[in-house]
Amino acid sequence: MPSTTLPPPSKAWGQNYLQNRGVIRRIVEQLEARPGDRILEIGGGRGALTMLLAELPGCEVTVLEPHPPSFENLCSLFSSAPNVTILKADATTVDFSSFQAHLTVGNLPYNVSSRILTALLRTGRAQRRWVLMFQREMAQRIVSGPNSKNFGALSVAVQAASVPKIVFNVSPGSFYPPPKVESSVVAFTPLEEGDLFVSEESRVFLQDLFGFRRKTLQRSLTRLLGEEGALRCLTEVGVDGTKRPENLTLEEFKLLISSALHYRRLCYGDLS
């Protein structure tokens, strides 16, 4: 049982502290850190992961922790560690490019994990690698391919801007308190391209398109663009209008979204 002097986990903040040291070591190994790397940790919690990161030879660690009691505890724990910086910052809103980090790692709170991932996709793609923990259901959505029930707007947006891979699963007993769901660690290789899918305009369009996932593309696009716009886009990119959104490949989505957004701008101006 964790020490009572440590900040108690907050349900409101979605805190489940990872305490299995074997799992923590595996996460650090997945980072593939090199001497001189600048590592960004999202949510330091009680510092278990931070301690192992701080031991990596020649690496600098910056921890983003918005929870006041955890922030104060981390500042105390690492006050004498010259290579560790603790910042009171919210990872859902930061500009990740401002840290000039090479790697990002974190056991993400499930209630804001999609927002943090979106922020990374927008501003953190110059980094070499991300190693992040999610609820297993979300991890499966992230890595799923076409023709799968888990394939959706999140899958498309993530895979257009990174190469994600589930590297191992984590049982509830590895946390305090144990969550009611299974978890998965996902390693990402960010891609410099992918801007089309991380803009707000494209994100909303993708979500709208998958909102009609049981309907054909012809019918879904007609709702979004009108009959003329739907026919024009499908013809332009050579996609079969009888397909459903989950049947398209990533390359087909790139062509279709580019064409659809271009058509909307021609008709209605910049809607971003």
Residue 92 CA to residue 101 CA, distance in Å, equals 16
Continuous segment of H or E residues that includes residue 61:
strand 60-64
CATH code matching the domain that covers 199-268, chosen among 2.60.40.10, 2.40.30.60, 1.10.8.100, 3.30.1600.10: 1.10.8.100
* pLDDT score, position 53: 98
Determine the length of the chain: 272
Averaged over 195-211, what is the pLDDT?
A: 85
Q: pLDDT tens digits, residue range 69-110?
A: 999 999 999 999 999 999 999 999 999 999 999 999 999 988
Helices 136-143 and 113-123, packing angle to 10 deg: 30
* pLDDT at res. 3: 39
**Amino acid, res. 184:** S
Residue 198 has pLDDT above 80, yes or no: no
Distance in Å from the first CA to the final CA of the chain:
49
- Tell me the CATH number of domain 17-197, given options 3.30.1280.10, 3.90.1150.10, 3.40.50.150, 3.30.365.10: 3.40.50.150
pTM of the predicted protein model: 0.91
134 or 109: whose pLDDT is higher? 134
Token representation of residue 35? 């001497």
Which residues is 166 bridged to in the sheet?
A: 186
> Which range (14-18, 32-36, 91-95, 252-256) has the least confidence?
14-18
Same fold, 17-197 and 199-268: no
Question: CA 229: distance to chain centroid?
Answer: 32
Phi-psi label, residue 249: left if phi above 0, alpha if psi -120 to 50, beta otherwise: beta
Name the percent of the chain in helix, strand, coil, to the closest 5.
45, 15, 35
Domain boundaries, the chain: 17-197, 199-268
Q: pLDDT, tens digit, for every residue of 141-167?
A: 999 999 999 999 999 999 999 999 999
Q: What pLDDT does 185 receive?
A: 98
Nearest CA to 70 out of 106, 102, 29, 26 is that of 106
Are 142 and 131 in contact by the 8 Å Cβ rule? The answer is: no
Give the pLDDT of residue 269.
65
